[in-house]
Amino acid sequence: MNILLELLQGFGLTLLLFAITLVMAIPLGLLIAFCSMSKFKVLSVLSRGFVWIIRGTPLLLQILAISFVPSFVFGIPNKAIYVGLGITLSTLNFIFVAIAFFINYACYFSEIFRGGIESISKGQYEAGQVLGMTKRQIFFNIVLLQVVKRIMPPMSNEIITLVKDTSLARTLAVAELYFVAAEAVNIHVSLMPLVYAGLFYLLFNGLLTILFGKIEKKLSYFRS
């Protein structure tokens, strides 16, 4: 019973990381998508280059890299930061992990957003334009919902991958679900904690799958 409680705590941290990543990565991803599509060549090249680097290297590496940034780039040891901010080392590590996660996922999302936006036919924009709409109005009233509908399948895939990726947070000893389960295996000399952890992931992803199914169904009232 004790084990389950510990696992539940780990799962809480998993959920927190999941939620922070989603909430931050969606708007940031949209911003990156717009930069990548920008008419200003410099901006779009920089943005696409950045996305290329992030998508081309392991998240694990990015987590470590982020945790090295303060000391190696700014010459401030991590200890100085968490003492200075009055937080614990594990909180600081969690912050590093969260930053790496949302930057990484923002890049993946941005490619999905860009693909979705670019897949909308030029005719939709032009129809809006000749009907006197502003660019904003066209985006929010005409294009957005069509994009949302188109990107739902790849977004659900990515979000389900995110659930499983949260276990990479253990790299900085963040006590998320997998980390807790692996420790419990050592302490209790039993494989059960890992089985339970697997069930947690499975259950949560099951719920997400149902949710995405509902959203896709809701958007099935039109075709484009």
Choose among 149, 128, 131, 122: nearest CA to 221. 149
> What's the closest the beta carbon of residue 116 comes to another protein, in angstroms?
14
Q: Is the torsion defined by CA of 90, 97, 170, 4 positive or negative? A: positive
> What's the closest the beta carbon of residue 127 comes to another protein, in angstroms?
4
> What's the closest the beta carbon of residue 141 comes to another protein, in angstroms?
6
Q: How far apart are alpha carbons 66 and 103 in whole angstroms? A: 10
Q: How far apart are alpha carbons 142 and 132 in whole angstroms? A: 13
Instruction: Please identify, using beta-carbon distances, which residue of 86 and 123 lies nearer to another protein.
Output: 123
Instruction: Please identify, using beta-carbon distances, which residue of 128 and 193 lies nearer to another protein.
Output: 128
> What's the closest the beta carbon of residue 128 comes to another protein, in angstroms?
8
> What's the closest the beta carbon of residue 124 comes to another protein, in angstroms?
6
Q: How far apart are alpha carbons 125 and 134 in whole angstroms? A: 10
| Helical pair 144-165 and 2-36, crossing angle rounded to 10 deg | 140
Instruction: Please identify, using beta-carbon distances, which residue of 121 and 209 lies nearer to another protein.
Output: 121
Q: Is 86 left (phi over 0), alpha (psi -120 to 50) or beta?
A: left
Instruction: Please identify, using beta-carbon distances, which residue of 210 and 217 lies nearer to another protein.
Output: 217
Q: How far apart are alpha carbons 76 and 83 in whole angstroms? A: 12
Q: Is the separation of the CB atoms in 100 and 63 below 8 Å?
A: yes
Instruction: Please identify, using beta-carbon distances, which residue of 22 and 133 lies nearer to another protein.
Output: 133
- Residues near another protein (CB under 8 A) are 121, 123-124, 126-135, 137, 141-142, 145-146, 149, 221-224
